[in-house]
Structure 1
Amino acid sequence: MNHDLLKNIIYDQHELIQNADIVARPSYSFEPNANYVLVGLRRAGKSTLLFKIVQDLVAKGVTWEQIIYINFEDERLSEFQKEDFNDILSVQSELSAERGYFFFDEIQIVPGWEKFCRRMADAKEHVYVTGSNASMLSREISTTLGGRYLTKYVTPYDFDEYLTAQNVPHDTRALLQTKANGRIRSYCAEYLQYGGFPEAIQYTAKREYISSVYQKILLGDIITRNGIRNDYAIKILMKKLAESVKSEISYTKLHGILKSIGISVGKESIIDYIQYAKDAYLIFSVQNYYARFAEKESNPKYYFSDNGLLNLFLDDKKPSLLENAVAVYLTQNHPQDVFYLKSPKTGIDIDFYVPSARQVVQVAYSIQGDAYEREVGNLKKFAATTTETHRYVIVTYEEEKIINDSDVKIEVVPLMKFLLKC
């Protein structure tokens, strides 16, 4: 690899980082002597976190010549191969006699990257890598890396971070002030519709920006990366998954839906397509806590990793957006520990159950009218099956009160306060 070209790329990146206006994300912390793999949805803010690490290093006295930041999506690196990694080490030694700090963005583009990163870690180099595909955490790659890297899963802004980025006060005092509370409510409505992509904040045409991100995920991270030839089928499949948010749905049912509209695709292909979408962090699934193992895998609920993505497919379906926002929030705070509850035997039908937090959550845009008996009734049914203490919550769009029914205390919490852990 031409060393002057690599230096050109590194210096251009230095300028970009120097000029970056970064909103700190305190929920992400990094050990100074550890190496990291950052994974997550495209445009969720992985690169910005690396920018912040670089800026902090420079503030502490590290020179820019020690910073080797390379984004492998740079078109100037389109011919880069694993054999070229050594040139990066050579360029670093040309730039500085001091030990370097290496930042490799979207490194999964280069096949064989993990062996180089393992060698870097063995040599006690400081290395940070990012990727937008869960294959970076596959068993094979994890074995190659040999436990020498810590993993950080990066998501778009949660509502707290979203308000912070918008310079909107949202402490207890602000929530109790009429004007400040109204402003928070306004931003909550925006967050519900457009989600938390950090860069979307700066755009007036947020939907167009989010649509461009989705197209990049679908075409680049799913279709092209996995060699999918029937791109129309997967596009329609994603639309049908969006329309099924709030409901469990099986591979067989999805196969039937596609077949009914004239799309010929095998059930095995549907299973593959859904896994590809999960690998790209576009969607995630929530399983039935009551179900047997095989049923857990084959009959889940699917949600989108950001409300802005889901909203591309919906036409004024605020209840679906509301439930998706709660699903995203719960899975961010309780990874691998969020389920739904559905039992034909007991009639229990509950949106979310978090065993480790002993929290049971229903989601309803409003509990006026018939919705009250349905939502409260399901929580009472569950309470009758357990002797353990649980927190029972109904998340609504804006209603708030405490319900005491049959010795069951139920908190009705508006989405705004639920997302802020109030």
Structure 2
Amino acid sequence: MEKDIIKQIILNQQEFISQVKLLPRKISIEENGNYVFVGIRRAGKTYMLYQHILQLLKDGHSKQEILFINFEDERITDIKKEELHLIVECYKEMFAFEPIIFLDEIQNVEGWEHFARRLADEKRRVFITGSNAHMLSREIASTLGGRYLMQEIYPFSFTEYLEYNHITLDTHWHLAPIRTDVVRLFEGYFYNGGLPESFSYTDKRAWLTSLYQKILYSDIVIRNNVRNEQSLRLLVRKLADSVLQPIAIKRLQNILQGDGSKVTRETISSYLGYLHDAYLIFSLCNFNDSIPQREGTKKHYFYDNGILNLFLFQPETKLLENIVAIHLYKQYGEALFYYNKNVEVDFVVPDAGLAIQVSYSLRDEQTRNREVNALVSLSRFMNISTALIISKDQEETIEQDEVNIKVIPAWKWLTE
């Protein structure tokens, strides 16, 4: 690796960052903390680094103190872990400052965590991003040894999307004319998702398709040496089709084999792990199952509605449940479950006493009775303090068998 290339990258980034324009996101960074930010590609991890850098500049730091390296820069994509020390070395040859170090998309440099640990041991300020959940794995966490704080970065929430569109909500916004704007903007967010770079594109589907291909090929196929790419692509489509339903690995195997794909259960399990690591999907377990059984039959959701929508025909019902799942998973993580034993409930958070059904519309009496009765039945044997039905556009309160059920439209619930 030539030092002149690294030096040029450092200088280029110092000039670029000082002029960047961005929408600030809520982020809490401790003054002396080192951080690893991970999440799906294009969720805004790099711009969160830029946001922190701009705050540092505002606080009086010089742009010459910034050492920013993007490891997807084609000039250094072949850098090896043995060469990573050159980054600080090159900086020191140009500047007398103690650098504040930003390492963007470093996950493809095998062994990067040893370099990161040494930087922390040298008492340097370091911020790292990556697009693979393996960066949160037990092995890497052990190497880093508690020297870094880990944060997952998600696509924009609906509230952030509204802020991007210059909509600020006050206490009684839903009673004001601005409500019309919120409902209108929700339609775009609902179908196209919350990946911020997509907002500026007219043909959002083309951009999302390109991003999906990049994630699938670079973050999954290449990284994991996947030989049967066709089966992997088919699996993603089947997961999109099954968003509303729990599905076992054996069932997925039967579906794929029915389409002519010869895959083992072990291969499917590996592929699911790769999709998780690349932040394409996340999964929920059945709360009623024993811990071993929970690993068998899960509900799978996509981290972004825009990517999910690439695979759907008549997508509304699945997109609604998926958008609710994203919001809940961001808040509750692995404390979020579905419930399926004699009664089916879409989402439960036992620790919070929360149960949620998702129904696009309750205008059909049979659908209404099914959703309400499920929540009432669950409340008989689980301590439920909050029971919700999230719809596309309906709002009311239902009282049945001393259970109070709030029906709320998704566009309103997502802002609470």
Structure 1 stretches of 5 or more lacking a match?
Answer: none
Contact 1:170 1:184 in 2 (8 A): no
**Structure 1 residue 11: Cα displacement:** 1.8
CA distance in 1, matches of 2:384, 2:277: 36
**Structure 1 residue 389: Cα displacement:** 4.7
Which residue of structure 1 lines up, in the alignment, with residue 55 of structure 2?
56
Which residue of structure 1 lines up, in the alignment, with residue 15 of structure 2?
15
Counterpart residue identity of residue 351, structure 1: D
Which residue of structure 2 lines up, in the alignment, with residue 360 of structure 1?
355
**Structure 1 residue 13: Cα displacement:** 1.7
* 1:151-195 Cα shifts (integer Å, max 9, x gaps): 0100000101111111123333432213x1111001111111111
Alignment of 1:87-98 (within 5 A): 87-98=86-97
CA distance in 2, matches of 1:243, 1:389: 30
* 1:63-106 Cα shifts (integer Å, max 9, x gaps): 11110000001000023111212211112212321211000011
**Structure 1 residue 139: Cα displacement:** 1.4
Contact 1:66 1:92 in 2 (8 A): no
Alignment of 1:74-223 (within 5 A): 74-178=73-177, 180-223=178-221
Counterpart residue identity of residue 376, structure 2: K
* 1:192-211 Cα shifts (integer Å, max 9, x gaps): 11110011111111111111
* 1:282-329 Cα shifts (integer Å, max 9, x gaps): 000011000122221110000000101100000122010000000000
Q: Compute the TM-score of the two structures, normalised by the length of structure 1.
A: 0.96
2:383 matches 1:383: no
CA distance in 1, matches of 2:376, 2:82: 62
Counterpart residue identity of residue 415, structure 2: L
CA distance in 2, matches of 1:167, 1:354: 33
Q: Compute the TM-score of the two structures, normalised by the length of structure 2.
A: 0.98
Which residue of structure 1 lines up, in the alignment, with residue 270 of structure 2?
272
CA distance in 2, matches of 1:177, 1:202: 28
Contact 2:354 2:384 in 1 (8 A): no
Contact 1:39 1:133 in 2 (8 A): yes
2:390 matches 1:395: yes
2:368 matches 1:372: yes
Contact 1:66 1:95 in 2 (8 A): no
Counterpart residue identity of residue 120, structure 1: L
Contact 1:72 1:105 in 2 (8 A): yes
Q: Residue 76 of structure 1: SS of its match in structure 2?
A: coil
CA distance in 2, matches of 1:161, 1:211: 23
The runs of at least 4 consecutive aligned structure 1 residues that moved more than 6 Å come to none
**Range with bigger deviation, 58-67 or 191-200:** 58-67
CA distance in 2, matches of 1:96, 1:43: 31
**Structure 1 residue 212: Cα displacement:** 1.1
CA distance in 1, matches of 2:389, 2:344: 13
Q: Residue 338 of structure 2: SS of its match in structure 1?
A: strand
Out of 372, 390, 407, the position equivalent to 2:402 is: 407
Contact 2:286 2:339 in 1 (8 A): yes
Contact 1:65 1:95 in 2 (8 A): no
Contact 2:100 2:125 in 1 (8 A): yes
CA distance in 2, matches of 1:70, 1:342: 48
CA distance in 2, matches of 1:316, 1:72: 39
CA distance in 1, matches of 2:40, 2:128: 14
CA distance in 2, matches of 1:99, 1:69: 13
Q: Structure 1 vs Structure 2: percent identity of aligned residues? A: 40
Contact 1:185 1:416 in 2 (8 A): yes
Structure 2 stretches of 5 or more lacking a match?
Answer: none
**Range with bigger deviation, 392-401 or 13-22:** 13-22
Contact 1:402 1:409 in 2 (8 A): yes
CA distance in 1, matches of 2:408, 2:15: 46
Q: Residue 261 of structure 2: SS of its match in structure 1?
A: coil
* 1:37-80 Cα shifts (integer Å, max 9, x gaps): 00111111100000011111111121111100000010000231
Contact 2:244 2:321 in 1 (8 A): yes
CA distance in 2, matches of 1:73, 1:336: 31
CA distance in 1, matches of 2:107, 2:65: 23
CA distance in 2, matches of 1:340, 1:173: 32
Q: Residue 333 of structure 2: SS of its match in structure 1?
A: coil
Contact 2:220 2:274 in 1 (8 A): yes
Counterpart residue identity of residue 235, structure 1: R
CA distance in 2, matches of 1:358, 1:254: 32
Aligned residues: 415
CA RMSD of superposed structures (Å): 1.1
**Structure 1 residue 32: Cα displacement:** 1.6
